[in-house]
Structure 1
């Protein structure tokens, strides 16, 4: 029997009474806190040596780092999700490559005032190497066939960089070169645990471990993040050492982030550079780990969970940007079989209609057109995830659930930040998918927790739209 997960309690919101690695990888590949770390009060540190870049962007000049002069946005600004602009007299570098992302001039919009939902839902009513073939039990559905969700990020809001996201720890600053990686006997134990006792997918762990080992000297952040995930898994199975393993996981994740930030600034790389493979692996493992932490350790209240979930989407979007143009190289790596299988499942002509009623509720709401479009897009992404979950075999279908947070748009996240009921309903339907993946240690009972949390917050006024997620909790047990 799986050990209990920590922090399972939650308190109701104002509305009512108490009532795996590969999908992350494939999702990023296919689609591709806001303050800087406080300066020390001690003596001013010497600036890191760097070559002058006469034609570099303003942001790199301000940060005193070397700019690769790529247009329309340099790699440093793409990685850190900053607004990139060049002096008018700057001449584009012959070596600069054009990124797929253009930068927005404005920062992310401020969070709206929290409110308790009081509107009635208008018009709501009850409601291996072989490519996996679609099962015959799934009939074709015009609604269910969505294909792979695509995100229009022509002008994404400015989002925190990795170092800004983890700015709470002074050690996460990228202005200091991290120490050379040291792997101790403790880390060997974690690696052995990851290889022999950390179930996530039957076919994907060997290539993950092989890539992490192969690049452990040049790109140690991939290995560090793998070991951080293993430490958290070990904490579930060793209650007497749970705190120590959790502390180790945090230390390894922090070290991985430092190395990743340092590496991407010192060596931005080119689209055809194979260094994108360990960076891709790190990004997917970090996204997976962050999802686990959000679902497990932030359950004290509705606002504690939602705030953390929203915060984590910022990092997911930054991760997507890092490896956006490297899919062809990643596809030529040992990850190829799984990526092809997942892509085939995501493009199936077969699908369900779990979210059909939810989409009708969203379309008939009195939200602003832009918010309706954002919530509808998120609803269709949940349906896509349900379809992929039904297509993939039981050992691999968790990947559909871990893909969803990576595909969310900034507009939907903003609606979630403002506690729009329709946006919360989408999250409740996602809770159903999590509940169907509850046998995975990454997910556990988080689906049940999420559905009940949102039901408590929305209250009886939204009981009818919440009927199906709550019914699933009652009928799908075991």
Structure 2
């Protein structure tokens, strides 16, 4: 077979020499190795001198195109195609230019990841991804703000891409394993980066920290509601408690820097959220569970108070569903907010498998079933109700009658 002719490249990298192709000798990784994803031998060598770079450009007016694979500390590969002229290289004698040439950054050698670009495009175009939340302003503008903050704080960028992968796993079941792997990998890296960057909350970082925590919370809730582990209620409760604890951290973050957040881009959204969660309960959907908690001999005073607070929030959620409040996405907001607002004592009751707390969880399952058309929720309401009924047994059927009738009748309130 005839081999394509080319001029010899005496200073080419080892990979190009083995493949018998002309190397452009760009450092720290040649173009061919960069584009094909190979580990260029130049990456382990010292940087070439400025004179050699200038000499390799041919004509003094011919641009040298270097394709670096910028990978920030976050691990997200971002293509950076930067044109250099011979004059621009020779004029890089500033301290900044010398520093860039004398100190090789190994993170620049990584390969561009097209999958991350797919996640980014999906994030920009798919408005239903964040359907479980209050909506203020234009989606494109909001996501642009989040991405700009993500460039400043890579942990936020990682979590945005992780949630994008999680949504794609839902949309494309035949490729769900691949997308879920990406989601887990990116989320793990996001948490690691967040922990490494942790200092304290102040006006300079409170917005990106809250965004990161909130999106992580949505991601964990989506994962938790999708759990179908063997063992029914017991493993689900373990997952759900972990989810609630993360959400409680989000609430703590918001309270710590509330004045700064209200003066930020998140101010309008937080104002609507605060208005919604501070409403007084109106309906009677939770009347039976209130009676159960009030007359229970197995609950102490603090436990009863915690349950009643959780019941109030649930009723606010049912009120929004009945009122069909689609404005700003409030109708199903309590699905997310409930895990954020429930008192810590309720988490202990869940962990202890306290029957009254499990009946309360069955009522939350009804609220979930109202939002079953949302991608994050699906059939989780019916599933959770089923495992609660199975765990408690027939002796608790009286207290579970209302949730069971609501789900079985397609949520037509019999009262």
What's the TM-score, normalizing by structure 2? 0.67
Task: For 2:219 and 2:174, locate their aligned partners in 1 and report how far apart those are by CA, in whole Å.
Answer: 22
Q: Which moved more, 1:308-317 or 1:456-465?
A: 308-317
Residue of structure 2 equivalent to 1:164: none
8 Å contact from structure 1 (residues 385, 401) kept in 2: yes
What's the TM-score, normalizing by structure 1? 0.58
Equivalences for residues 424-463 of structure 1 within 5 A: 424-463=358-397
8 Å contact from structure 2 (residues 207, 266) kept in 1: no
Deviations 1:367-393 (A, max 9, x none): 222322222222222223323444531
* Aligned with residue 209 of structure 1, among 132, 143, 157: 143
* Aligned with residue 240 of structure 1, among 170, 174, 185: 174
8 Å contact from structure 1 (residues 317, 406) kept in 2: yes
Task: For 1:188 and 1:180, locate their aligned partners in 2 and report how far apart those are by CA, in whole Å.
Answer: 13
Q: Quick check: which one's helix share is greater?
A: 2
Residue of structure 1 equivalent to 2:316: 384
Deviations 1:299-347 (A, max 9, x none): 4321111111112222222333334222222223333333333333334
Residue of structure 1 equivalent to 2:301: 369
* Aligned with residue 256 of structure 1, among 180, 190, 194: 190
Task: For 1:390 and 1:220, locate their aligned partners in 2 and report how far apart those are by CA, in whole Å.
Answer: 40
- How far is 1:198 from its partner? 4.7
8 Å contact from structure 2 (residues 279, 316) kept in 1: no
8 Å contact from structure 2 (residues 74, 154) kept in 1: no
Residue of structure 2 equivalent to 1:309: 240
Residue of structure 1 equivalent to 2:213: 283
Matched, 1:332 2:263: yes
Give the direction of change, closer, same or farther, for the CA distance of 1:385–1:350 in structure 2 (3 Å limit): closer
Give the direction of change, closer, same or farther, for the CA distance of 1:263–1:443 in structure 2 (3 Å limit): same
Residue of structure 2 equivalent to 1:171: none
Residue of structure 1 equivalent to 2:117: 188
8 Å contact from structure 1 (residues 382, 430) kept in 2: yes
Task: For 1:312 and 1:178, locate their aligned partners in 2 and report how far apart those are by CA, in whole Å.
Answer: 27
8 Å contact from structure 1 (residues 279, 323) kept in 2: no
Q: Which moved more, 1:442-451 or 1:366-375?
A: 366-375
Residue of structure 2 equivalent to 1:218: 152
Task: For 1:327 and 1:185, locate their aligned partners in 2 and report how far apart those are by CA, in whole Å.
Answer: 38
8 Å contact from structure 1 (residues 389, 400) kept in 2: no
Matched, 1:293 2:213: no
Q: Which blocks of at least 5 consecutive residues in structure 2 are unaligned?
A: 1-71, 79-112
Task: For 2:144 and 2:264, locate their aligned partners in 1 and report how far apart those are by CA, in whole Å.
Answer: 11
Deviations 1:89-131 (A, max 9, x none): xxxxxxxxxxxxxxxxxxxxxxxxxxxxxxxxxxxxxxxxxxx
Give the direction of change, closer, same or farther, for the CA distance of 1:433–1:247 in structure 2 (3 Å limit): same
SS of alignment partner, residue 285 of structure 2: coil
Task: For 1:329 and 1:402, locate their aligned partners in 2 and report how far apart those are by CA, in whole Å.
Answer: 23
8 Å contact from structure 1 (residues 181, 217) kept in 2: no
Task: For 2:166 and 2:391, locate their aligned partners in 1 and report how far apart those are by CA, in whole Å.
Answer: 30
Higher relative contact order (CA 8 A, sep 6+): 1
Task: For 1:439 and 1:347, locate their aligned partners in 2 and report how far apart those are by CA, in whole Å.
Answer: 26
Give the direction of change, closer, same or farther, for the CA distance of 1:269–1:465 in structure 2 (3 Å limit): closer
Residue of structure 1 equivalent to 2:252: 321
Residue of structure 2 equivalent to 1:402: 336
Task: For 1:359 and 1:302, locate their aligned partners in 2 and report how far apart those are by CA, in whole Å.
Answer: 23
Task: For 2:77 and 2:405, locate their aligned partners in 1 and report how far apart those are by CA, in whole Å.
Answer: 50
Task: For 1:280 and 1:211, locate their aligned partners in 2 and report how far apart those are by CA, in whole Å.
Answer: 13
Deviations 1:263-305 (A, max 9, x none): 21xx3243xx131001110011011110110110244321111
Task: For 1:185 and 1:221, locate their aligned partners in 2 and report how far apart those are by CA, in whole Å.
Answer: 19
* Structure number, greater radius of gyration: 2
Residue of structure 2 equivalent to 1:393: 326
Structure 1 runs of 4+ aligned residues shifted over 6 Å read none
Equivalences for residues 2-401 of structure 1 within 5 A: 181-183=76-78, 184-199=113-128, 200-201=130-131, 203=136, 205-264=139-198, 267-270=199-202, 273-300=203-230, 301-348=232-279, 351-367=282-298, 368-390=300-322, 392-393=325-326, 395-401=329-335
